[in-house]
Chain A
Amino acid sequence: MKIFVCIKQVPDTETKIKIGPDASSIDTNGIKWVINPYDEYAIEEAVKYREANAGTQVFALSVGPNKRVSESLRTALAMGADEGIVVNAPENIDSYSTARALAEVIKAEGGADLIFTGKLAIDDNASSVSQMVAEFLGMPHATVVSKFSMSPEGVTVERDIEGGAKEVLGLKAPAVVGANKGLNTPRYASLPGIMKAKKKILKEIEFASLNIPATDTKVKYTQLSLPAEKPAVKMIAGDSSAQVAELVKLLRDEAKVL
């Protein structure tokens, strides 16, 4: 059984964002790159499954600039993935081309019995890639998944929907599953894990070799900008009764949100 885990490398949340001179990218100097937090749940779930089911192989797969993306793949290998595949691609290609690349590589590797992704990437909050990969490979999908099990009958997942409600789905394998927080507790890469990871295969594939037509780029981000400065906070003085009365007045008359 072959499980593929798609991981995206994103700037750490604490990173200060500076816009690049072309205004369609950011200044990547000094950025600390991490594995998209949701993708850690995806890796953990795949590795857990492999540990419980002999004969399973876990492939970690990432599309992006080879140099930095490989680092995250090494981390995934140290967490227990068996093999890494990096698709060396320019910065920030769109979700469509990313998903096409992932689907093409998975096909070329002989297909998947199961694919894990994160529910979304925290840098641009798109939550698109999993569903697109599923569509390109003709598989069912479930996103925002916080419980997963697999049996010969197929995959059962619980996904979080609106208002705290949950949905239990059965999916025929092969399927794409997008991990949410709550699915598991991702392990840290241990020192022995890190040592072992150094010997594991990390295959490189050039995006250009995948023959994805230029017309598969569907969306362009331009004119990146920083948010407008927020006016300074208005601190409300007085005892609590006075504060409360003043706040309600401001919300009604000044902010007009009531």
Chain B
Amino acid sequence: MSKVFVFAEHKNGALKRGAMELLQAAAKSGNTVVGMAVGTGADKAAAEMGHHGATEVHILKDASLDAYNSELYAAAVASVLEKVQPQILLASATSTGRDLFPRIAARMKTGIASDCTELNISGDNVTAKKPMYSGKAFANVAFENSPLKIVLMRANQLPVAAADGSKTATVIEQTLAKPDLKTLVKEIVKGTSEKLDLTEANIIVSGGRGLKEAGNFKLLNDLADVLGATVGASRAVVDAGWVSHGMQVGQTGKTVAPTLYIAVGVSGAIQHLAGMSGSKVIVAINNDPNAPIFQKATYGIVGDLFDVVPKLTEEFKKVLKH
């Protein structure tokens, strides 16, 4: 039996959805699932990881791991990997995952498949599928010369079943041997929003120049609040200074993969489509029936967003209450 190692991200002990997806996929493969969680709340996360299929979880509760530091994390993960000796490593293609695991791959002299949307595990063999050219093509990714096969999966790509409280994991507490650090985290400036990051969001409501001015993003915030969505934006409105560039979706913004993407007053320029065409269901609201966004959309409404969006918010309120 092979060992699949899952690096689980959590927020104060609450597992991120991506971590649940990976644990369950690993468990389904029939392999032994070994997890890892770090920082304050790692013990709570470890208990939850058991419910999602991990049989053994290594934790490092050191509070110095609360803020991501590439060198410290690389040392921590590598030291646990040396003890566990897994054949496969799964992590989410989040800001942390994407920054950390290529460094680990280089250190372990092994291969990494980044930004994947499909995962196939069979014994110690793993292949993945990833979008290329912003979703204009897909490639199968296979490993060679890789003692450890590292796959970074986008969130929201794999199913998650309810946690099974009867399943538990053995928790092993590790201590951190701190390397001589060349990287110092000086400050973390919190974002304005407590919502999920665009790259992890399951629902995104995105606004473009059709909104006319910054203040009108309130319409989208209201809609997003009802849906539990994260608000995104086109580059045009970011460049206009209406919203911060962390909200930009597209080629020079974020690549997103939500279940539902609602594009409001967004024309659907190719560079915008580049970031969002991996969305499962796309709704476009635009007053121009020829807007290119309709060619990518699942459902289209031709109409004035100032009329449609408030009504939509009310309709969702009604329906989602029941």
Query: A residues within 8 Å of B by Cβ?
Result: 11, 13-17, 19, 24, 26, 37-38, 94-96, 99, 120, 122-132, 134-136, 139-144, 146, 156, 158, 160-172, 175, 181-182, 215-227, 230-231, 233-236, 240-241, 243-245, 247-248, 250-252, 255, 257-258
Contact pick for A127, options B114, B195, B297, CB 8 Å? B114
Task: Please give, as numbers and ranges, the residues of chain A lying within 8 Å of B304 by CB-CB distance.
Answer: 240
In the bound assembly, the distance between CA atoms of A15 and B194 in angstroms comes to 37
Take A17-B137, A125-B114, A251-B283 as given contacts and tell me if A99 and B196 are in contact as well, using a CB distance cutoff of 8 Å: no
* B interface residues, how many (CB within 8 angstroms): 97
- Assess the B95–A162 pair: CB atoms within 8 A: yes
- Assess the B106–A164 pair: CB atoms within 8 A: no
- Assess the B260–A163 pair: CB atoms within 8 A: no
Interface of B is mostly: mixed
In the bound assembly, the distance between CA atoms of A248 and B259 in angstroms comes to 15
List 24 A-B pairs, Cβ < 8 Å. A11-B133, A13-B133, A37-B251, A96-B111, A125-B131, A126-B114, A131-B100, A139-B182, A140-B183, A141-B183, A143-B98, A163-B191, A165-B188, A166-B191, A168-B187, A171-B183, A175-B182, A219-B141, A226-B138, A234-B298, A240-B301, A255-B298, A257-B280, A258-B316
- Assess the B144–A223 pair: CB atoms within 8 A: no
Contact indicator per residue, chain B 170-212, by CB within 8 Å of chain A (1) or not (0)? 0000000000011111111111111111011001000000000
- Assess the A14–B270 pair: CB atoms within 8 A: yes
Query: B residues within 8 Å of A by Cβ?
Result: 67-68, 70-71, 74, 94-95, 98-100, 102-103, 105-107, 110-115, 130-146, 181-197, 199-200, 203, 244-248, 251-253, 255, 259-260, 270-271, 274, 277, 280-281, 283-284, 289, 294-304, 307-308, 311-312, 315-316, 319-320
In whole Å, how far is B131's beta carbon from the nearest beta carbon of chain A? 7
